[in-house]
Amino acid sequence: MSTNKTNPPVRWLAADEERAWRAYLRMVTAVQSRTAQDLAAHGLSEPDYEVLSTLSERTDGTSTLREQAAKMGWSRSRLSRHATRMEGRGLIRRAPDPADGRGCFLVLTETGWDALREAAPTHVASVRRHFVDRLDPGELAVLGRIAEKIADGT
Convert the pLDDT of each residue in 125-145 to its tens digit.
999 999 999 999 999 999 999
* Rounded distance between C-alpha atoms, residue 34 and residue 131, angstroms: 10
Average pLDDT over every residue of 7-27: 95
Question: Which value, to the nearest 10 degrees, does the dihedral of the CA atoms of residues 67, 73, 75, 78 take?
Answer: -100
Q: What is the mean pLDDT of the chain?
A: 93
Question: Nearest 5°: phi and psi at 94?
Answer: -105, 150
Please report the pLDDT score of residue 2 as a whole number. 57
